[in-house]
Homo-oligomer: A and B are copies of this chain.
């Protein structure tokens, strides 16, 4: 019989996992992804190298161990939206709410290496990030297909999912850029709001008029 969540064994396992991830990310931020070996991480966390790889299949996974959260949030925007709200509107709301990350972005600005510096400096982390995005597209596409009752193999759900995730990413990226450029919160928020409206305006009415002549 499984006891799962309650047990002490499970607790210790989660602690170990968290310890490894925290140790690794602290080292990565201090010195960069390539400049830290898994051996070092294991030593610093006082576990064996094998244990690190038991919890995280690749070194890259140490950086992206919270990726499932993003996946869950995006999925919820499709499956848990209130009745009468379209998928597009639900995603627009999700994108508007990206401003809640602004404090985190500001905090990152003072770090020697933010999460995004880490990723943008390193090809293998970029690949991993694309993998994460692709996974979200797939999960979302499945949800869309289920809701639409699409025929198996129908390309439409996937295209819609890819568009929504693409929009989400591009808007997030733009928001980060605005934060980097500085300025008061309200102004950034207003500008982001305008970006979101412009993007979802286009997606809502179609791409045939792009680029505007």
Contact = CB atoms under 8 A, between A and B. Distances in A.
Interface residues of A, number: 46
Given A127-B128, A127-B130, A88 B208 contact: yes
How many copies make up the complex?
2
A199 B88 contact: no
Name the prevailing secondary structure of the A interface residues.
Answer: helix
Interface stretch (A9-17, A63-71, A147-155): A147-155
Contacts of A195: 155
Interface string A200-212: 0011111110111
A162 B162 contact: yes
Contact of A211 (B131, B144, B174): B144
A173 interface: yes
A126 B166 CA distance: 19
Nearest to A167: B159
A170 interface: yes
B208 A147 contact: no
Given A203-B206, A204-B208, A208-B86, A155 B127 contact: no
Interface of A: 86-88, 123, 126-128, 130-131, 133-134, 137, 144, 147-148, 150, 153-156, 158-160, 162-163, 166-167, 169-171, 173-174, 177, 195, 198-199, 202-208, 210-212
